[in-house]
Structure formats: C-alpha cells, structure tokens
Amino acid sequence: MVSRARYDREAAMSCPTIRKQPASLPVEPNLVDYDAERARFCWADARADLDGLPDGAGLNIGHEAVDRHVATPRGDHPAIRWLGADGSVRELTFGQLREETNRFANLLDRLEIRAGERVATLLGHSPALTIAALGTWKHRAVLSPLSVACEPGSVRRRLTFGDARVVVTTRQQYERTIVGHREQLPGLHHVLIVDGRDDVPAGTIDLDTWMAAASPHRVVQPTDAEYPAFVHVVEDRHGRLKGVVHVHEAIVSQVATARFALDLHRDDVLWCSAEPGSVTHLAYGVIAPLALGAISVVDEAPDEGAGWCSRMAEQGVSVWFTTPEAIRAVLASGDPPCGDRDLSALRFVASGERPLAAGDLERWDRAFGWPIHEMWSQPQTGAIVLANLAASDVRPGSVGRPLPGFEVAIVRRVGTAEHRGVQEIADRDTEGELAVRAGWPSMFRLYLNAASDTRRSTVDGWYLTGVQARRDRDGYLWLSDPDPAPDPDRNPNRPAERRQAAAARGD
C-alpha cells in the first residue's frame, strides 16, 4: 500500500513546473543568479554582515536582533506588530523592545538565574515570547521553547529533561499543564505569569509587576559565538526526548537563509505563523526578521482561514511563512479563497515543516496566480537548508535546492556499527538518505546529555538527517519520507492537538 504522503508527492511530481520571470517581480530578489551566489558565498562573509558585540566582545543574538538597531534611524521603526485576540493592534519599536528585553534580562538577575541555566517558554503567539527569548539571550541564559499543544505529562517531561529553572507562561497554561505536576519539578524554581494582572496563582510571579520594577538599562556581557543559546526538546520515533542544542552563532545562518529562502528585505512585513514552540518560529518569527530590521507580525487570534486573509490584507503582510494546515485553511475560506480582500502586498509565501499535497499546490496557484515555495529544515539544522527561491522556477512537490553555504548529498550508510561510513549516490533520481556536510553556523552542537547520539549523527563529515530523498537531474530535491521521526507534541494543527490548543485558549 502506498502511503498518502508518498502518493501526494508522486502526484505533485506530475505537476508542471511554475516558470519565473525575475525581472517582472515586484521586488528585486536577494538571490537572482543561483549558481553564481553558491560559488561566491562563504559563511565568514555572512558573519561579517552582523555587527558583533562592541570591542570584539563576541556575538549575542539579543544584541544583533535589537540593540544594534537602536543607535541607527531604525531605532524608532516598528519591530513587532502585535495583533491582539480582541482585534487591537499595537506596535513596539526597536527602542521599546530594547528596554523590555533589558528588563527581562535584569529580572533574571533578580531571580539569581546564572548564565547557562535554562529558561523555558510555554506561550502562544505573543510579544511576551519574543521579549522573553531576547532577554534570555542578553542574560546569556539558554532558551527552551515549548509547545502549548503539549499534554501536561509531556510538559513535565520536557521541563525535567531540559532542567528548566524558570518557565514563562500564562495563568491558563500553568493551571492546565504545570500546577498538577509542580511537586515533581524540584528544579523549577520560578514560574512567571504573563497575564497575571496582580492576581496570580500561589507560588508564581506576576511578570508584569516584576518587569515594571526592573531597570530598562543593561549592557550585554561578552558572549562567545559558541555559547549555548537555545535547546529544542523534541521526541524521536522511539518516544525518547532529545535536547537539540544551538549556539549564538546560529543567527549567522538564520539571517542569511531568511534573505535567500524567504527573500526577506528590510522593508518587509513578515508574518511567521508556525507553531511558536518550533525552531521555524524562533528562527524566522523572532531572530531573522528583527536582525534584518523588518517588521515581525505577532498574531494572538485563534487559527482561522478567513481571519488570516483579513489580517494579511489589513496589515500589508508581504512575506508569509506558514504551514500546510494554514494553507488548507485559507483555501477553504471561500470561493475564491480570501474573497475580495486586497492581498496585493503579499509577494512571497513559503511553507515548511511538512509537505503540501499536490492538490493544494495546484489550487493555490490557480487561485492566486503565484506559487507556494516549499522548504525543508529540521530542529537539528537550525535554519532552512533546501528551498524554492523567489527568482527560480518552482517544481511543485520539490523542496527546492540547497541554499548557498550548504552542501547536500544523497547517501547510503555502509560499514559496521564499529566502523561506520557513508557512500554518496551519484545517480540522479535514485533514493537514499539526505545528508548535509557538517559545519554550517546553525548546525546543532550536541544532543543534551547524549554524547553517543551526538557522535552517531555525523559520519565521514556528513550530518545524517534520517530523511529519505532523491535529487533530480536539475538538482531539485524530493523527499519521500519528509518527517520520519515526528514529534507528536510539536504540531498543534493535527486534529487532537487543535482541540488541545483551543481548550488552552478557552475557545
């Protein structure tokens, strides 16, 4: 029996290539000549595009995403556009975001959190998530984002596994997932409630009150680029938790790939609607757009196809990075999808994490006249590796080609457990395992407390993804097993998890 995923990919491969005319695009793409850019590109140049801490004191994500803009005219430019669930719209400038993130970092000092200790977030789409993340990095603590779709037992396991000292969450999430397990979390010293309004559960802290008392001034201390910045706790196919550790240097890959894969420009309004606990949202909803000086839209409203259409039109969203579930919701929002809403500002749509069905790809192209660009990444890659580009033809069903800076191969594992190796498969259209040449800045550095797993992940200089793929004659990659080790807690758009997420919101 052919799986639905395999059937859809085979159907997609029969779809005609969508041809591009770069000169006719509304904005000149960042990457026009693919081959020339791949030949020219090096990670050292991408690193040089960032400022680094003053006086050569290292590289800190919080500084790069926020503080460096404040001394420039960008300081008064909106950084976050917050769409409240009640329909309200607020903006935080880079200057305001600097003060708020400084307050959070200083609050961690008051809580006696040391550099290197873990700060978990259990939040939906909200400015609090961005502020907590950036403030954690300024403090040089380590962020551990969790999904609001997790069951209480799963939250407890992840907090324990990640050795979280602090968790930032809402009162509703705390009462749903943590309070019943609090006595089983001796390492969890502090729970910060973001919507307490001076009325928080016993044993927790009202974040707003403590933030108001914290100083808005702070100097980011020297930070080695290899210092741990965040850990994604995921579940493998055997149900084992793995802590995927990334360092501050990951921002180098995330900014470069946002330019290339998402074609992100400084004047763009980007909305990343991926699950807020995912590596996708952290990289492309928080770090990259802010580091590039773009506006990042934060939408607190419940998932809704027609509502998404309206908000994209009202806010002039120009780049939307989303998921297949959201694409299907928009396609189901009306006939035609999105009705008469003005989406003229929307020039680039990307989808990642899981593959789109062939029918969805065709329906979208017919409805809007421009394609969805499928991409591929993993928690371990920390950034997009394969992508369909703004200036390049799109082959529906393919996740595109390797971005500049990444070398990929199709391989087969050879040898024994003691003497392992890989053999590259030179023949095109032959299936094997997707491998990425190790050494890019956002490659995970280790699995938390699992040195043997870390060693086994890389063989002969190749990171082995565990994903089956093939490369066609023109270099486009096609995945046949796009998510071999799904984390059931990572995707709130699966039916059961949608109900959990709705329950958590009180819908």
pLDDT of 294 strictly over 50: yes
Does the pLDDT value for residue 459 go beyond 50? yes
Closest alpha carbon to 85 in 125, 34, 37: 125
Whole-model pTM: value is 0.91
Rounded distance, CA 164 to CA 172, Å? 19
Task: Quote the pLDDT of residue 13.
Answer: 54
Strands 462-471 and 164-169, sheet pairing: unpaired
Q: Domains along the chain? A: 30-404 (3.40.50.12780)
Q: pLDDT tier at 12 (50, 70, 90 boundaries)?
A: low
Mean pLDDT of the chain: 90
Contacts with 138 (C-beta within 8 Å, 6 or more apart), sequence order: 60, 62, 63, 67, 101, 102, 104, 105, 218, 220
Q: Is residue 26 within 8 Å of residue 347, measured between CB atoms?
A: yes
pLDDT at residue 3 tops 60:
no
Query: Average pLDDT of 484-491?
Result: 36
Mean pLDDT of 250-270: 98
Distance CA 390, CA 348 (A): 7
Residues forming a β-bridge with 260: none
On the question of pLDDT at 297 being above 60, the answer is yes
Regarding beta strands 164-169 and 118-122, do their DSSP bridges make them parallel or antiparallel, or are they unpaired?
A: parallel
pLDDT, one tens digit per residue, over 104-131 is 999 999 999 999 999 999 999 999 999 9
- pLDDT for the residue numbered 14: 60
Cis peptide before 404 (omega within 30 of 0): no
In this predicted structure, the answer to whether residue 406 has a pLDDT above a threshold of 70 is: yes
What is the rounded average pLDDT of the residues 143-151? 94
* HEC string for 205-271: EEHHHHHHHCCCCCCCCCECCCCEEEEEEEECCCCCEEEEEEECCHHHHHHHHHHHCCCCCCCCEEE
3-class state of residue 56 by DSSP: helix
Q: What is the pLDDT of residues 198-257, one digit of tens each?
A: 789 999 999 999 999 999 999 999 999 999 999 999 998 888 999 999 999 999 999 999
Indicate whether 433 pLDDT > 70.
Answer: yes
The residue behind tokens 């939307």 is 320
Tell me, what's the pLDDT at 353? 75
Q: How confident is the model at residue 87 (pLDDT cuts 50, 70, 90)?
A: confident
According to the model, what pLDDT value does residue 232 have? 97
Distance CA(435)–CA(422), nearest Å, equals 9
pLDDT exceeds 50 at position 505: no
Q: Which of 21-25, 61-65, 503-507 has the highest mean pLDDT?
A: 61-65
Mean pLDDT value of segment 283-304: 93
- Region 269-284: mean pLDDT is 95
The string over 151-170, giving b where at least 16 C-beta atoms fall within 10 Å of a residue's C-beta and e elsewhere, is eeebbbbbbbbbbbbbbbbb
CA distance 343 to 252: 31
Average pLDDT estimate for 95-107: 98
- pLDDT score for 496: 35
Q: SS3 of 58, please?
A: strand
Q: What was the pLDDT predicted at 234?
A: 92
Q: How far is the C-alpha of 94 from the C-alpha of 347, rounded, in Å?
A: 25
Beta carbons of 220 and 476 less than 8 angstroms apart: no
